[in-house]
Amino acid sequence: MSAERPIYLDYAATAPIDPRVREAMLACLDELPGNPSSMHGPGRAARARIEAARAEVAALIAAPADAIVFTSGATESDNLAVLGAARGNASRGRHLVSLRTEHRAVLDACAELEREGFRVTLLTPDHSGRLDPALLAGALGAGTTLVSVMLVNNETGVLQDIAALARVCRAGGALLHVDAAQAAGRVPIDVGALDVDLMSLSAHKIHGPPGVGALYVRREPRPTLTPLVFGGGQEGGLRSGTLALHQIVGMGAAYALARREGVAESARLAALSARLWRGLEALPGVYLNGHPLERAPHILNVSFEGVDGEALLFELESLALASGAACSAERGEPSYVLRALGRSDALAQASLRFSLGRPTTAEEVDEAAARVQRGLARLRALAPA
């Protein structure tokens, strides 16, 4: 094992819980034992905490509180949006459109719908990772009921022009779902200005607890959704089951912190990301993946020519980072996102995703760049291309 001090640079996979969020959750566990669906005093107190958290989540994306549906995480939110909207609107059409670079939670939900007889069109973005609105317009037809596009790509950090894509969806009569798991708290979001119908959110990407997320569901006009979970009718009938009180309170606390501190924190992360790239870009055979400007502040994805990807990760074991999305790591294959952007299998495999978070310091960024430089030089000396 490496004797170097570990440096965590995988905040896009999960961000450790902020101590202030932990305090809010512990207070909730100690003080509020009631079921939020119960009508007695403890139940009403628990419900009040739920609604306060709902308001905080809504405020971060400039939405009304009653448009927020709590789920177990962004994966469930993606599934509820994609499967629920497709099945709920099947009488109008059975065609969906998405991107080849979407999260597996969307792509696998689309694959399930194909098995049910729906038709799915997966579009390829340009080499920068951005989707041309004209390409989307050409893919829509009379039977298209849903378009699903990520706001911030989880591997490259590329930002999509959601407002422009929404105009295409409105003209084509299709609903628009946006996965904003990597965007919330990192870039400004106004669901009204973006004109989206559905938006998936996560807690643990911005220093909240894992196991909780939310789906924004537009109120007017309200999209038709078929629920995935049935039972007690909680969350407006869209997500039955006893609400995870302390986790929802934690999500609310994390979103409140992001609303108060997000602008300054995003500027700080953007500066650190640029600093890290300056430490890497002068190296030979190093390529930035994704658009150089239209990107989230906390994600930097880089490919390294002439080295084996697994060897590179092993060489840099003191750096906690990813070679792609955490949920796709077990597949052991080159990133499908980077291949869709035109990278070769070799470059896609030899890529690293650096993602920064609230605890990240300039000293850590500089040390990470130095370790990459040393590791790359060592690997290239051992096995020159």
For residue 385, pLDDT over 60 is answered with: no
Confidence of residue 384 (pLDDT cuts 50, 70, 90): low
Q: How many domains does the chain have?
A: 2
The reported pLDDT for the residue numbered 309 is 85
Q: What is the mean pLDDT of residues 252-260?
A: 98
Does 366 share its domain with 318?
yes
Asked whether residue 11 is domain-assigned, the answer is yes
Asked whether residue 39 is domain-assigned, the answer is yes
Asked whether residue 189 is domain-assigned, the answer is yes
How far is residue 180's CA from residue 223's CA, in Å, rounded to a whole number?
18
Does 80 share its domain with 194?
yes
Q: Tell me: the pLDDT tens digits for 5-42?
A: 999 999 999 999 999 999 999 998 887 678 888 889 88
The reported pLDDT for the residue numbered 2 is 55
H-type helices in the chain, by residue range?
Answer: 19-31, 41-60, 74-88, 104-115, 133-139, 162-172, 191-194, 245-280, 309-315, 336-340, 345-349, 362-382
- Cβ burial of 59 (10 Å; 0-12, 13-18, 19+) is middle
Residue 15 CA, chain-centre distance (Å), reads 12
Percent above pLDDT 90 for the chain:
87
Any idea how long the chain is?
385
The answer to whether 37 and 242 have CB atoms below 8 angstroms apart is yes
Q: Tell me: the pLDDT tens digits for 183-230?
A: 999 999 999 999 999 999 999 999 999 999 999 999 999 999 999 999
Does 107 share its domain with 187?
yes
Does 161 share its domain with 62?
yes
How far is residue 311's CA from residue 359's CA, in Å, rounded to a whole number?
28
Does 12 share its domain with 24?
no
Asked whether residue 277 is domain-assigned, the answer is yes
Q: Which two tokens stand for residue 136?
A: 């989307």
Q: Which of 304, 381, 383, 385 is nearest to 343 (CA)?
A: 304
Confidence of residue 383 (pLDDT cuts 50, 70, 90): confident
Q: Tell me: the pLDDT tens digits for 54-108?
A: 999 999 999 999 999 999 999 999 999 999 999 999 999 999 999 999 999 999 9
Asked whether residue 301 is domain-assigned, the answer is yes
The reported pLDDT for the residue numbered 324 is 56
Does 55 share its domain with 202?
yes
Q: Which two tokens stand for residue 33?
A: 């034992």
Q: What is the CATH number of the domain that holds 276?
A: 3.90.1150.10
Does 280 share its domain with 369?
yes
Q: Which two tokens stand for residue 64?
A: 């009304």
Q: Which of 308, 88, 61 is nearest to 186 (CA)?
A: 61
The reported pLDDT for the residue numbered 34 is 83
Strands 144-150 and 95-99 come out as parallel
Domain end: 207, 230, 257, which one? 257
State pTM to two decimals.
0.95
Residues 6+ apart with CB under 8 A from 170: 195
For residue 325, pLDDT over 80 is answered with: no
Does 131 share its domain with 229?
yes
Strands 286-288 and 299-304 come out as antiparallel
Asked whether residue 51 is domain-assigned, the answer is yes
- Full domain range(s) for residue 301: 7-16+262-382
Does 83 share its domain with 220?
yes
Amino acid at position 77, single letter: S
Provide the mean pLDDT of the chain.
94
Confidence of residue 3 (pLDDT cuts 50, 70, 90): confident
Does 271 share its domain with 196?
no
Element (H, E) at 215: strand 213-217
Does 239 share its domain with 279?
no
Does 238 share its domain with 325?
no
- Cβ burial of 152 (10 Å; 0-12, 13-18, 19+) is buried
Asked whether residue 348 is domain-assigned, the answer is yes
Helix axis angle for 245-280 and 19-31, nearest 10°, is 170
Q: Which 3-state string (H, E, C) describes 87-130? A: HHCCCCCCEEEEECCCCHHHHHHHHHHHHCCCEEEEECCCCCCC
For residue 330, pLDDT over 70 is answered with: no
How many of the other CB atoms lie within 10 Å of CB of 359?
12
Asked whether residue 77 is domain-assigned, the answer is yes
The reported pLDDT for the residue numbered 38 is 87
Q: Tell me: the pLDDT tens digits for 145-171?
A: 999 999 999 999 999 999 999 999 999
The residue written with tokens 């080295």 in the block is 307
How far is residue 142's CA from residue 351's CA, in Å, rounded to a whole number?
40
Which sequence positions are flagged as catalytic? 327
The reported pLDDT for the residue numbered 33 is 72
**Sheet strand arrangement including 68-71:** 68-71, 213-217, 198-202, 175-179, 144-150, 95-99, 119-123
Q: What is the CATH number of the domain that holds 213?
A: 3.40.640.10
DSSP assignment string, 5-55:
PPEE-BTTT--PPPHHHHHHHHHHHHH--S-TT--SHHHHHHHHHHHHHHH
User: Rg (Cα) of the chain, in Å, rounded?
Assistant: 21
The reported pLDDT for the residue numbered 328 is 47
Domain end: 257, 285, 317, which one? 257
Q: Which two tokens stand for residue 44?
A: 């009403």
Domain end: 222, 239, 257, which one? 257
